[in-house]
Amino acid sequence: MVAAMIITLLLPFPVGAESLSLSSLSAVLYEPQSGRFLYEKDADTKRPMASTTKLMTALVAADLLPSDRIVTIPEQAVLVEGSSMGLRGGDSLSVHDLMTGMLLSSGNDAANALALLSCGSLPAFAQQMNTKAVQLGMYHSLFVTPSGLDEGGHSSTARDMALLGAAVLRNEELAHICSLKSAVVHMGKPMHEVTFTNHNRLLKLYEPAIGLKTGFTKKSGRCLVSAAQKNGVTLVVASLNGGDYWNDHMALYEYGFSLTRSCELTVPELPSLSVAGGTASGISLTMEQPPATVLLKEEAVTCEVRLPAFVWAPVENGQSVGTAVYTVGDRVVYEAPLLAGGSVSARPAMAFTEKWRRQLWLLLTEWIG
């Protein structure tokens, strides 16, 4: 049995991406819910990514260290060049505050500390970073340092870094830290309050911005992985080796938000389902309200209700008996189980034959289908 419902979005499609002029040598615009890249410029060329690396450092450390653990900074961690959150060997602070200092002030000392506290050595931590990269589908990345300092082929691509940004957004604690314009942490020996300001000026320049991380070395140029949210749509932009990267990202977001919209999926009209061998001949169906999905403004959603011709009793309340499948073209955007809205007992006279009837029905359906 199949029922269908079509939601058509009759909104104008925007002008093409050819009107965009970006300073960044590599850039992508990524819509993480569907996994689609809405814009690409030299997306797969490997380039150094500087301190945007620290998004991976945070993600790996979050897997290995409890956020509320109080840690002591190893002396080795502070022996690093570049930006710093001002740590000294022997300082104490929570992992959460260490993460905050690393992500907001881009502390290389904090990145090294998290690596050493997680794995005992920087090479061991880099191995964990590369394992995580493969898990995320970042197949063109090589992580060598937790800080992003240039060393030994440390590199990624704009496409891979967008995947990393989306993964950080899925971690609520890290996403919140990256969204802060400033934060107070407790650190030192004895502990005292220190205020850190986020290097990501996009949070002040562009209202929909919600993160994530800047980066710069002489070799990498200006790098930025950012995220923005507007009218229920979340987008991620990653750019490598840019000049005016703030305006690059804002231009890509305006383009991306003009392409997309959040669509509320509706529950289709559900038929009753026939029940064989039961004390009732049929049963009502229910399903949970589906979440909103992000669509291009030219797209239509189709919902297909997939049900068998009937089910055998007994049927339990809440039992899954079918599926509602929401698609855009050939792409499945959401699937939901269809549940029995009540219980139906087997008729007593048929209870003893229930087992073989079910087996026979399974064999028949396999043979037919």
Q: Could you give the residue numbers annotated as active site? A: 51, 54, 106
Contacting residues for 291 by C-beta, under 8 A, at least 6 apart: 265, 334
Nearest residue to 39 via CA among 224, 280, 255, 226: 255
Cα 307 from Cα 176, distance rounded (Å): 42
Q: Please give the order of strands across the beta sheet that includes 70-72.
A: 70-72, 92-94, 182-188, 191-197
Q: Using alpha carbons only, give the angle 359, 363, 369 rounded to the nearest 5 degrees.
A: 140
Cα 268 from Cα 304, distance rounded (Å): 9
Q: Which helix (H) or strand (E) holds 115?
A: helix 108-119
DSSP 100-113: HHHHHH--HHHHHH
| 235 contacts 225 by C-beta, under 8 angstroms | no
Q: Using alpha carbons, list the distances in angstroms from residue 37 to 136, 169, 236, 309, 328.
A: 15, 17, 9, 40, 16
Cα 205 from Cα 160, distance rounded (Å): 25
Nearest residue to 80 via CA among 35, 51, 113: 113
Query: Counting Cβ atoms within 10 Å, is residue 128 exposed (0-12), middle (13-18) or buried (19+)?
Result: buried
DSSP 81-103: -S------TT-EEEHHHHHHHHH
Give just the sign of the alpha carbon dihedral 25, 230, 97, 195. Answer: positive
